[in-house]
Amino acid sequence: MAQATNTIDPAEVAKFEAMAAEWWDPTGKFKPLHLMNPVRLDYITQQIAAQFGRDLKAPQPFKGLRLLDIGCGGGLLSEPMARLGAEVVGADAAPRNIPVAQLHAEQSGLEIDYRNCAAEDIAATDERFDVVLAMEIIEHVADTQGFTDTCAELLKPGGLMVMSTLNRNPKSFMAAIVGAEWVMRWLPKGTHEWSKFITPDELYALIRNAGLDAVDRKGMVFNPLTFGWKLCERDLSVNYAVAAVKR
């Protein structure tokens, strides 16, 4: 059972806990996520709207949907989802991330249920969700299949999982390790381990084994000239996202 699987890698948790105070600093160590966040939100909202027949132009289009943000960090995704009307639970294994997220949500006038726990802890209860987000986290866990199984278990039948990660190839090494960590110094060296990056075929296999059907995938491509991100149908060479539905 998924709840019996410990997918947490303590060394990975420690990396992000050490940066907890900087979650909401757009020029700090999470600058890459702040730059990427609009594109991540575009993809997530498009997939939720398509799966549940919601009009994104309506006020609070996700009202009535229960959403779990796994590895929520400081709440960069949880807060926009709450503003769109979803009932949001944010879970993170790093204890220092939760007070940062709670304080920022309170200052923003948002009600978000933040918890310092693993996804398995929630899966062990009877809580289930319409949407599970697992963005930029699977490359940091100890057991990728166990983690994907847990995400699937947390979904209601017909529920939607959106997951993003990094492809494993020479281009992603140059972009995410050499470029982001060594040259631009956006992230501390060692934040990512290239060997833990996951190819789209590998992720699709994990998803199928967990009892989910992949319904969409897109690349998230960075343009160094405009310093902006865009969604791309064909280019999955570095960052990419996948949407899957529980059978």
Residue numbering of the annotated binding site: 40, 71, 92, 135
Residue whose tokens read 């960590």? 181
Decide the pairing of beta strands 129-135 and 155-166: parallel
The vertex-93 CA angle with 87 and 96, nearest 5°, equals 95
Q: Across-strand partners of 181?
A: none
Residue 220 is given by DSSP the state E
Task: Tell me the sheet residues that pair with 232.
Answer: 219
Distance CA 141, CA 138 (A): 5
Q: How far apart are CA 3 and CA 89, in angstroms?
A: 18
Bridge partners of 135, per DSSP, are 164
Going edge to edge, which strands form the sheet with 129-135?
113-116, 87-92, 66-70, 129-135, 155-166, 239-246, 212-223, 228-232
Contacts of 163 (CB under 8 A, 6+ apart): 133, 134, 135, 138, 148, 151, 203, 207, 241, 242, 244
The annotation places the binding site for S-adenosyl-L-methionine at 40, 71, 92, 135
Residue 230 and residue 223 in contact, taking contact as beta carbons nearer than 8 Å: yes
